[in-house]
Structure 1
Amino acid sequence: MSEKEVILTPEGLAKLEQELEDLKTVKRKEVAARIKEAISFGDISENSEYEEAKNEQAFIEGRILTLEKMLRNARIITNEDVDTGVVSVGSKVRLKDLEFGDIVDYTIVGSAESDPMNNKISNESPVGQALLGKAKGAVVDVQVPAGVIQYEILDISL
């Protein structure tokens, strides 16, 4: 079975590489020191500090493996790859909510770097999926738990 391609912007790639570097060089050492200190307290069978540090170590190692796999399967999207004629990964899109008249700006990114709090939505999200391949002026229906939201695409840019 082939591994899933991870679509990243150059900014998203740099962020994941920095996180991986931090986990390998800083967090690993910190948790190893915490484990060593907890062991020095004696009996580890009832040592909550030891258990907590071992759990954190397992989380860190799991995240390192996940990040390495994501970076191995990464495809970087640059501005040259983005066609402003239609919405694609890497596009900045200005939308108008046709029910309430609200205007919202989103950047369409791969799922690995989605950050809805900063208006970066995944190409795999309901809104992202509805927008992909659509041109400026198009009206799209987005199925959400509360029903259907209609957006008009006002602008597509880099």
Structure 2
Amino acid sequence: MQGQQELLRFQARIGKDKSMATLHAIEVGEYAKWTTENVEDAATRLDPVKKFLTFANKRGWTEISLARYAAAPRRNRRRFAGGQSGSRGAGTPSARLSQERHIELQAELQRLREEVPQVREAIRLARSDGDIRENSPLDAAREQQQMVERRIRQLENDLVNVEIVDAANADTERVSIGSRVTLHDIASEQSRVFTLVDVREADVSAGKISTVSPIGQALMGRSAGEEVTITTPRGAMEYRIEGIGG
């Protein structure tokens, strides 16, 4: 049951309509990072996902095994033990988001705040229904309450000192957050367009790549015309930056 719940959470974060054939290592890595930052005992929670991804590869649903990308980043594993506030100074942006994403997160925060009374009522009803020692609805309601309240705290923290990134004013000389970058694959002679965004806004299927992803790290600070080597699950890939636009 616990494993099934974790797979459902993974599906919800990745997207219910996502095809396994198009699932990317970056998406799995971003999910692992999100789990590490938002869920206690992340390694245990990620284990069912890793097993599922191993199974998917054996069945031929994915070209490579994506299980290794579902590991909790070591540098974040003590996040809960050490507290989540960190040493961020006052005025330091907690997130750098587009106006569109900022509005989406504000709407999510409002929705979750409205959901809290409903979850509490579900807990009250579950408690009144028989033996609480073997009460699956109560356990589910309590877990839902923890997830909702944890997400609310994260959103409140992220939105305190958020910086809105205006793509229209993004640097066109060097790649920076908010940049729309056209990459030319030297081997295949094909071009792809990515937008560099904060990790909270990353969506590979929409062409939004986190600045902390392998691609993002390789591109940040680079100029048009430069060639870069990006390490991917398929090996090292050579790209040329064809253009940088806001």
TM normalised by structure 1 equals 0.90
Q: Indicate yes or no: 2:240 matched with 1:152.
A: yes
What 5-or-longer segments of structure 2 have no aligned partner? 1-85
CA RMSD, Structure 1 to Structure 2 (Å): 1.7
What 5-or-longer segments of structure 1 have no aligned partner? none
Runs (4+) of structure 1 moved beyond 4 Å? none
1:81: how far off? Answer: 4.3
1:149: how far off? Answer: 1.2
Partner of 1:67: 155
Pick one of 157, 170, 173 that aligns with 1:82: 170
How far, CA to CA, are the matches of 2:98 and 2:220 in structure 1?
16
How far, CA to CA, are the matches of 2:164 and 2:102 in structure 1?
8
1:47: how far off? Answer: 0.8
Pick one of 98, 106, 109 that aligns with 1:20: 109
How far, CA to CA, are the matches of 2:134 and 2:201 in structure 1?
39
How far, CA to CA, are the matches of 2:228 and 2:163 in structure 1?
27
Partner of 1:2: 87
TM normalised by structure 2 equals 0.60
Q: Indicate yes or no: 2:135 matched with 1:47.
A: yes
The structure with the largest alpha-carbon Rg is 1
- The one-letter code matched in structure 2 to 1:86 is R
Hey, which of these two has a bigger chunk of strand by percent? 1
Instruction: Return the structure number with greater relative CO, CA threshold 8 A, min gap 6.
Output: 1
How far, CA to CA, are the matches of 1:19 and 1:100 in structure 2?
40
How far, CA to CA, are the matches of 1:124 and 1:58 in structure 2?
28
Does the Cα contact within 8 Å between 1:7 and 1:111 map onto a contact in 2?
no
- The one-letter code matched in structure 2 to 1:5 is S
Number of residue pairs matched?
A: 157
User: Which stretch has the larger CA shift, 131-140 or 77-86?
Assistant: 77-86
Hey, which of these two has a bigger chunk of helix by percent? 2
